[in-house]
Amino acid sequence: MQESTTAGELIAQLKPRKNQLDEHGLLRYGKMLIDGEWVGAASGETFESVYPGTGEVIANVASGGKEDVDRAVAAARRAFEEGEYKKMNGADRGKLLWKIADLMEANIEELAELETIDNGKPLVESLRVDLPQSIACFRYYAGWAGKTTGETIEPHARVNAFAYTLREPIGVCGQIIPWNFPIQMATWKIAPAIACGNTVVIKPAEQTPLSILRLGELMLEAGMPKGVVNIVTGLGETAGAALVDHPGVDKIAFTGSVEVGKLIMRNAAGTLKKVTLELGGKSPNIVFADSNLELAAKVALAGIFFNQGQMCTAGSRILIEASARDQFMEVLAGRAAKMTVGDPLDPKTRMGSLVSEEQMNRVLGYIDKGKEEGARLVAGGNRVGGSGYFVTPTVFDGVNNDMAIAREEIFGPVASVITFNDADEALRIANDSAYGLASAVWTNDLKKALTFARGIKAGTVWINTYNMTDNALPFGGYKDSGFGRELGAAALETYTQTKTVYVDLN
C-alpha cells in the first residue's frame, strides 16, 4: 500500500490555519472545557493522542481525574439550577442547537480532518457521512426543544381531581462515549440532553478527543452559556469512573463495550443513577436465495467493512442460504479481495486505519483464532503497511456459530460467513447470540421478511438493506447490546422524568 501522510506533513498542511498548533508544534488540544473555560487537568497530567495512519503523536491531551470531574459536575449543576440557561425557554434552546449546527457546517472540513486524524477513518467518510449526520442530529433536536410536554389525565376512579403531568429534565447528565464515531456519538448524546433542558459532562474516548474539543469551541461561539456542556478528557478508569461514581450526576449515558457497560451499571447503583447503555453487537445479516444476490453481497461488504468494521451495528455474521452460497461468495470474497486500504487523508481512500495498535492487535488475534477454529480464510487476513494500523478486509467462510469469531464482537474488518438451509434454521442461528443490536434479512418474499422481523431479537431490523439510520428513528439494543434508546423521540424519554400534579376539585 501507499504510505500514509506523516504527522509532520499533516501538521505542515494545517499550519496555515490560525491557532492550530501549541508551543510544541503539536495540535493545540491540551485543554478541556469546564464551566466555559479551557483548563488543563488539576494534576497537570496529559496523555498522548496518536494519528493511527502512522502511529505518530499529534497532541498532548489533558488527563482529567476526580478533581476535574468534581469541578465539571459542580459547573453543570450551577448551570442547571440557576443562571442564564435556566432562563432559556424551548425556543432559545432550539436556536442554540441550530446555531451549533450552522457553525459545524461552516467548519465542516476542519472537523472532518480532526475526526480522521484522530480515528483513522477515511476523510471522505468523515466529510460525507459523520459530519453531515451529526449536523442533522443537532437540527433534528433543535426542533424538539421545548416540545417535551406532559399530558392531562382523567382520574380513573374515586378521585375528584384535575390531574396533569410535567415532563422535566433529569439534571446533570454524564455521557461516556467511544472512539468509533466520536463526533456522532457526542452529538447523539448532547443534542437530546440540551433539547430537554439538561446539562452535560461528557467524556470522550481517550483515543479520539480532538473533534469534540473543537465542537466545544463552536458551542461556546454559538452562545452556549457556561457549564451547560463540559468536556472532560481523560482515561476510562479515572475520569470515566469518577463520573459514574459522582453523587452529583443524575444520569449516565454510555456507549462502548459490554464489559465496561456492566461495570458502569454496577457502580452507578451506589448513587442510584439512571443508566442507558448502548453496547456492541454480533449482528446477523441473512441472505435468502430468492434475493438480489449481487446487491446483497455488495451491501453486506459495506455492512461489515464501513468504518473498518469498527461499528456496533457491523453485519459481522453473514448467513447465506446453502443453495445460493457459491454464487454469493463469488461476489463477496471476490470484491473483498479487491478492496484496498490506504492513507486515510487521501480523498480516494475508502478504507483507512483501525483506531489504535491495541485494536489492531485485538483484530489480528481474532483472525488467528478463526484459522485455529477451522474457518476458511477466503479474503484478507493480514496487516499491511509498515506504520499505522491497517488490516485488510477479511472474510471467513465455513464458519460455525459456536466459533469465537461468530460469538464475540471483533470490532474490525472481519466477516464470518455461516451457511443455513431454511428460514427456521436462519432465525435460530441469528438469535443464538448474547447480543441483539441489529439484524438484516434479504428476500423478495414479503411473508418471510416480516416473519423474520417479528422473530429476531434485535433493536433494529433492515429488510433488503443494511446500516440505514435516521435521526428520527430509535436506536438501541436487546439482550447484552444494552437498553434505552437513542435518537428520535425515544431519546427524549431517557432525558426527561415525569412529575404528576393533582388539583383537588372537592
Catalytic residue numbers, as ranges: 278, 312
* Nearest residue (CB) to ligand NAI, 37 versus 408: 408
Question: Could you say whether residue 257 binds ligand NAI (CB under 6 A)?
Answer: yes
Please state, in angstroms and as integers, the Cα–Cα distance from residue 131 to each residue in 102, 103, 106, 485, following that order.
12, 12, 11, 21
- Yes or no: say if 398 and 386 are a contact pair by the CB < 8 Å rule: no
- DSSP labels for 234-290? --IIIIIHHHHH-TT--EEEEES-HHHHHHHHHHHGGGT-EEEEE-----EEEE-TT
Question: Could you say whether residue 436 binds ligand NAI (CB under 6 A)?
Answer: no
Site stretch for ligand NAI (CB under 6 A), options 174-182, 368-376, 457-465, 485-493? 174-182
Question: Could you say whether residue 27 binds ligand NAI (CB under 6 A)?
Answer: no
Question: Could you say whether residue 391 binds ligand NAI (CB under 6 A)?
Answer: no
Binders of ligand NAI among 300-359, rule CB under 6 A? 312
Site stretch for ligand NAI (CB under 6 A), options 10-18, 277-285, 315-323, 459-467? 277-285
Question: Could you say whether residue 231 binds ligand NAI (CB under 6 A)?
Answer: no
Question: Could you say whether residue 241 binds ligand NAI (CB under 6 A)?
Answer: yes
Per CB under 6 A, the list member of 178, 192, 197, 209 interacting with ligand NAI is 178
Question: Could you say whether residue 172 binds ligand NAI (CB under 6 A)?
Answer: no
Rounded to a whole number of angstroms, the minimum distance from the CB of residue 203 to ligand NAI is 6
Per CB under 6 A, the list member of 260, 297, 345, 429 interacting with ligand NAI is 260
Rounded to a whole number of angstroms, the minimum distance from the CB of residue 267 to ligand NAI is 7
Per CB under 6 A, the list member of 306, 390, 411, 475 interacting with ligand NAI is 411
Pairing assessment for the beta strands 161-169 and 152-153 based on DSSP bridges: antiparallel
- Yes or no: say if 32 and 43 are a contact pair by the CB < 8 Å rule: no
Per CB under 6 A, the list member of 53, 64, 197, 236 interacting with ligand NAI is 236
DSSP for residue 3 = P
**Exposure pattern of 385-418 as b/e (b: 16+ CB <10 Å)?**
beebbbbbbbbbbebebebebbebbbbbbbbbbb
Angle (nearest 5°) at CA 130 between 127 and 134: 115
Question: Could you say whether residue 237 binds ligand NAI (CB under 6 A)?
Answer: yes
Q: Comparing C-alpha atoms, which of 389, 370, 494, 463 is closest to residue 120?
A: 389
Per CB under 6 A, the list member of 53, 280, 370, 380 interacting with ligand NAI is 280
> Phi and psi for 262 in degrees, rounded to 5?
-65, -40
Per CB under 6 A, the list member of 27, 205, 395, 458 interacting with ligand NAI is 205
- Yes or no: say if 416 and 304 are a contact pair by the CB < 8 Å rule: no
* Nearest residue (CB) to ligand NAI, 169 versus 477: 477
Question: Could you say whether residue 173 binds ligand NAI (CB under 6 A)?
Answer: no
* Nearest residue (CB) to ligand NAI, 236 versus 344: 236
Question: Could you say whether residue 271 binds ligand NAI (CB under 6 A)?
Answer: no
Number of residues located near ligand NAI, criterion CB under 6 A: 27
Per CB under 6 A, the list member of 244, 275, 375, 426 interacting with ligand NAI is 244
- Yes or no: say if 402 and 249 are a contact pair by the CB < 8 Å rule: no
Question: Could you say whether residue 255 binds ligand NAI (CB under 6 A)?
Answer: yes
Q: Say how many C-beta atoms besides its own lie within 10 A of residue 155's C-beta.
A: 12
Which three cell numbers mark 315?
453485519
Q: Which residue is nearest to ligand NAI (CB)?
A: 236
Question: Could you say whether residue 492 binds ligand NAI (CB under 6 A)?
Answer: no
Angle (nearest 5°) at CA 492 between 242 and 274: 35
Distance CA 136, CA 308 (A): 23
* Nearest residue (CB) to ligand NAI, 197 versus 240: 240
Q: In angstroms, what is the C-alpha Rg of the chain?
A: 23
- Yes or no: say if 440 and 303 are a contact pair by the CB < 8 Å rule: yes
> Which segments of 322-413 are extended strands (E)?
376-379, 383-384, 390-391, 394-397
Per CB under 6 A, the list member of 1, 263, 339, 490 interacting with ligand NAI is 263
Distance CA 153, CA 126 (A): 46
* Nearest residue (CB) to ligand NAI, 237 versus 424: 237
Rounded to a whole number of angstroms, the minimum distance from the CB of residue 205 to ligand NAI is 4
Q: Comparing C-alpha atoms, which of 277, 281, 278 is closest to residue 268?
A: 277
Interface with ligand NAI (CB under 6 A)? 176-180, 203, 205-206, 235-237, 240-241, 244, 255-257, 260, 263-264, 278-280, 312, 362, 409, 411
